[in-house]
Amino acid sequence: MDQQEWLQIGIDRGIIDCKNSIFSEKENMIIENKERTVTLRKDGRYMCYAYLASGRKAVYGKTEEKAIENAVKRENQERFELERQKYLFGFCYKKWFMAKLESKIRPQTTDRIESTYNKYFANDIKELDIRTLDSYMAIDFLVKCVDGSPKGRLTRKEFSKIMQVIRGTYQLYCDNYVLENNKQVKDVIVWDTVKRKVEEKCLLYTPRKKEIAVSGTEQNAIREVVLKDEKFIDRRILGLCWLLEESTGLRIGELASLTWKDIDFENEVIYISKTVCKYYQRDSDGNRIKQIYGTGKPKTEHGVREIPLTDKALKVLNQLLKLQKECGWYNKEELLCYSGRRIKDVTNALYKNLRRISNMAGIEQDKHIYPHLLRKTVATNLHDAGMSTRDIADLLGHSEIGVTEQCYIISTELEKKRKKMAAVL
């Protein structure tokens, strides 16, 4: 579609005012009213200047009138092109993204937004004039995102990320249009309708992976492997951290960021006030500079909490403390999982250690034990012991009880059946 067709669509929909231009009123007056100076060149062509944003540029024609006509045409082309660039989807997205950065949201969130844009938008509607975007185009694009995925379907969570980008970018365009033109955009997209239409045309789903809590037998096997692993101090320290996880239900980022000053042995509590963060440092234009590994605030306000220590947890902490003191590593400011050398990605080191322990414990390969499963197992065990869901949610740092009920209390049917059978058979 050429420039003239884009312009005609905008005029027909009432979103482009033919009299408007990105040039100032003074510049418009100069361009429209200036008496053009036309000179005859030695080669027989006529030369006239076109007044562009970057300065004046020589334009030629076979006649005096043609030179003036070409100069005006060149000026109008630049006007239109600069006006059009202001409304490219990619340009509007960049402004929305920068507004997100300035709003001081978590840097991990901005990284996720950028990844979503690069995956679904950058090679598709980046060059689209957002003024021409309507409900039908939005539906077609979103359906294409779903159908074009490797499995031909998307999770509702992934779809909501795509919706956030397209909806946020379009809303910024609408807000700016009102400010610049003092009138509303015609035929504003109703995003709830768009979402409903997409759901009618393609498959969105919520993963329902059947999770089985780590059984008491499996936990004992893990504990036995950790306590017997005395050859390598670093492995033993990371392993003891996982035994602490079994008694506290911490997020892996919270576990990796724990220091000794977070442990109150006198009152027997752990203070959770930070988590490990991995994000990109950015310059003033929002471009990535380098990846940062550090600590930041927990995922939600409810993540700041106190967790009471059980006798089992205190025993593990005392073992960790003894090991670090024997090696001369103990310091109030030091990480619990410090094992003599600085690890850039602590969470990754913990994850690999858990996988190694699971294999050594003889846990079946088809039952993949991962950090969050241990956290969910703690929630499940507390629930089975009769603790209220509200109290479990508070211990886990959840802001909503529904999350705890739906996602964290998982199946222990096999273990229950085993106990009933053992009592009878």
320, two tokens: 């960790």
Cβ proximity of 46 and 37 under 8 Å = no
Residue 186 has pLDDT above 50, yes or no: yes
> How long is the chain?
425
DSSP 163: H
What percent of the chain is predicted at pLDDT more than 70? 88
417 or 16, higher pLDDT: 417
Predicted pLDDT of residue 163: 96
Residue type, 332: K
Cβ proximity of 357 and 225 under 8 Å = yes
- State whether 56 and 162 are in the same domain: no
Is residue 262 situated within a structural domain? no
Predicted pLDDT of residue 415: 61
Cβ proximity of 282 and 289 under 8 Å = yes
What are 276's strand-pairing partners?
A: 295
Q: What is the mean pLDDT of residues 254-277?
A: 94
- State whether 50 and 121 are in the same domain: no
Residue pLDDT, tens place only, 144-174: 999 988 888 899 999 999 999 999 999 999 9
Give the closest residue to 258 by CA, choosing from 326, 316, 310. 316
Is residue 302 situated within a structural domain? no
- State whether 238 and 313 are in the same domain: yes
Residue pLDDT, tens place only, 294-317: 888 887 888 999 999 999 999 999
pTM value?
0.72
Strands, DSSP E only, in 217-287? 263-264, 269-272, 275-282
Q: How many domains does the chain have?
A: 3
Predicted pLDDT of residue 193: 94
The range of the structural domain enclosing residue 70 comes to 37-85
Residue pLDDT, tens place only, 22-34: 334 434 433 443 5
Name the band, by pLDDT with cuts 50, 70 and 90, for residue 19: very low
Residue pLDDT, tens place only, 46-99: 999 988 888 889 999 999 999 999 998 888 888 877 777 888 999 999 999 999
384 or 84, higher pLDDT: 384
Rounded to the nearest 10 degrees, how much is the dihedral formed by the CA atoms of 311, 312, 314, 317? 170
